Amino acid sequence: YGINNESGIINVELSRTNISNMAGTTLESTVRTINSFKKEQIISVEGKKIKILDMEILSDNAGLIT
């Protein structure tokens, strides 16, 4: 979703509700996961903008092959 660019910023503004609907999870699970990723410095969040700080760890958490 958004534009894949060098800065790691997801170029789409999504609410937590939108993210949870897309992921098929509850809003509470989404908020907990986002907060966990922020604490682990995998992502940073400013308003509705999410910046991916560590794509490798994020991909590992998602079970993706990079």
SS3 44: strand
23-59 burial, b if ≥16 CB within 10 A, otherwise e? eeeeeeebeebbeebeeeebbeeeeeebebeeeeebe
pLDDT in tens, 3-48: 556 666 676 778 899 999 999 999 999 999 999 999 999 999 888 8
- Whether pLDDT at 1 is above 60: no
Residue 31: partners with Cβ closer than 8 Å, 6 or more residues away = 16
For the residues 49-53, what does the mean pLDDT come to?
A: 86
Query: Does pLDDT of 62 surpass 90?
Result: no
Specify the pTM: 0.76
